[in-house]
Amino acid sequence: MSRKLLALILAAGKGTRFKSEKIKVLHNLLNKPMVQWVVESIQRLKPEKIYVIVGYQKENVMHAIENDGIEFIIQKEQLGTGHAVLAAYDVLRSDEDKDLLVINGDLPLIQTKTIRLFLNYHRKQGNSLSFMTADLEDPTGFGRLIRTEDGILSIIEEKDATPAQRKLKQANVGIYLFKVKDLLETIKRLDNKNIKAEYYLTDMIEIMGRAQKKAGPFKIESIGEIIGVNDRMELARAVDVLRLRKISELTAQGVTILDPSSVWIDHDVHIGSDTTVYPFVIIEGRSSVGHNCVIYPSSHIFQSKIGDDVRILPSSVIEESTIGKGAQIGPFTHLRPKTVIHSGARVGNFVEMKNTVFGRGAKAGHLSYLGDAEIGDEVNIGAGTITCNYDGIKKNRTIIEENAFIGSGTELVAPVKIGKRSYIGAGSTITKDVSSESLAVARSRQIEKAGWARRKQKIKNQK
Ligand code: UD1
Ligand code: CA
Burial grade of 368 (CB within 10 A; 0-12, 13-18, 19 or more):
buried
pLDDT one-digit tens code per residue, 213-258? 999 999 999 999 998 899 999 999 999 999 999 999 999 999 999 9
- Per-residue pLDDT band for 147 (boundaries 50, 70, 90) equals very high
Tell me, what's the pLDDT at 2? 76
Q: Which atom of ligand 1 is nearest to the CA of 35?
A: 30
Q: Which atom of ligand 1 is nearest to the CA of 13?
A: 26
> How many alpha carbons fall within 13 Å on the CB side of residue 48?
11
Q: Looking at the DSSP assignment, which residues form a beta bridge with residue 276?
A: 256, 294
- From 9, 60, 79, 81, mutation site for ligand 1 pocket: most ligand atoms within 8 A of C-beta: 81
Model pTM? Answer: 0.89
The arithmetic mean of pLDDT across residues 189-205, rounded, is 97
Judge if the beta carbon of residue 417 lies within 6 A of ligand 1: no
Specify whether the CB–CB gap between 62 and 25 falls below 8 A. Answer: no
pLDDT one-digit tens code per residue, 380-397? 999 999 999 998 999 999
The arithmetic mean of pLDDT across residues 172-200, rounded, is 98
CB neighbour list of residue 372: distance below 8 Å, 6 or more residues apart = 354, 355, 356, 387, 389, 395, 396, 397, 398, 414
100 pLDDT above the threshold of 60: yes
Ligand that comes closest to the CA of residue 157: 1
Judge if the beta carbon of residue 380 lies within 6 A of ligand 1: no
The arithmetic mean of pLDDT across residues 41-48, rounded, is 96
Tell me, what's the pLDDT at 213? 97
Q: Whose CA is nearest to atom 11 of ligand 1?
A: 143
Judge if the beta carbon of residue 201 lies within 6 A of ligand 1: yes
Judge if the beta carbon of residue 80 lies within 6 A of ligand 1: yes
**Distance between Cα 33 and ligand 2 center (Å):** 15
Angle at 320 (CA atoms; ends 357, 416), nearest 5 degrees: 25
Ligand that comes closest to the CA of residue 23: 1
Cα 68 to Cα 71, 86, 122, distances in angstroms: 9, 24, 27
pLDDT above 90 coverage of the chain, percent: 97
Q: Which residues are catalytic?
A: 366
**Distance between Cα 179 and ligand 2 center (Å):** 23
Judge if the beta carbon of residue 217 lies within 6 A of ligand 1: no
Judge if the beta carbon of residue 81 lies within 6 A of ligand 1: yes
**Distance between Cα 107 and ligand 2 center (Å):** 8
Exposure string of 75-99, with b = 16+ CB inside 10 Å and e = fewer, is beebbbbbbbbbbbeeebeebeebb
Cα 289 to Cα 294, 316, 445, distances in angstroms: 10, 15, 49
Q: Which atom of ligand 1 is nearest to the CA of 157?
A: 11
Q: Which atom of ligand 1 is nearest to the CA of 203?
A: 8
Judge if the beta carbon of residue 142 lies within 6 A of ligand 1: yes
pLDDT one-digit tens code per residue, 298-329? 999 999 999 999 999 999 999 999 999 999 99
Ligand that comes closest to the CA of residue 105: 1
The arithmetic mean of pLDDT across residues 196-220, rounded, is 97
Tell me, what's the pLDDT at 68? 75
Specify whether the CB–CB gap between 131 and 172 falls below 8 A. Answer: yes
Judge if the beta carbon of residue 155 lies within 6 A of ligand 1: yes
Q: Which atom of ligand 1 is nearest to the CA of 80?
A: 23
Ligand that comes closest to the CA of residue 103: 1
**Distance between Cα 49 and ligand 2 center (Å):** 23
To the nearest whole number, what is the mean pLDDT of the chain? 97
- Per-residue pLDDT band for 270 (boundaries 50, 70, 90) equals very high
CB neighbour list of residue 323: distance below 8 Å, 6 or more residues apart = 304, 305, 306, 307, 310, 329, 335, 341
**Distance between Cα 59 and ligand 2 center (Å):** 21
**The one-letter amino acid at 195:** I
- From 23, 56, 104, 154, mutation site for ligand 1 pocket: most ligand atoms within 8 A of C-beta: 104
Q: Which atom of ligand 1 is nearest to the CA of 75?
A: 18
Tell me, what's the pLDDT at 69? 82
Q: Which atom of ligand 1 is nearest to the CA of 77?
A: 23
Give helix then strand counts, H and E, for the chain. 10, 39
Q: Whose CA is nearest to atom 8 of ligand 1?
A: 200
The arithmetic mean of pLDDT across residues 128-148, rounded, is 96
**Distance between Cα 403 and ligand 1 center (Å):** 64
Tell me, what's the pLDDT at 1? 57
124 pLDDT above the threshold of 80: yes
Ligand that comes closest to the CA of residue 145: 1
pLDDT one-digit tens code per residue, 72-94? 999 999 999 999 999 999 999 99
**Distance between Cα 105 and ligand 2 center (Å):** 8
CB neighbour list of residue 102: distance below 8 Å, 6 or more residues apart = 7, 8, 10, 85, 175, 176, 177, 178, 201
Tell me, what's the pLDDT at 67? 72
Exposure string of 21-55, with b = 16+ CB inside 10 Å and e = fewer, is eebbbbbbbbbbbbbbbbbebbbeeebebbbbbbb
The arithmetic mean of pLDDT across residues 368-389, rounded, is 98
Report the distance separating Cα 162 and Cα 344, nearest Å. Answer: 69
- Per-residue pLDDT band for 463 (boundaries 50, 70, 90) equals confident
**Distance between Cα 294 and ligand 2 center (Å):** 41
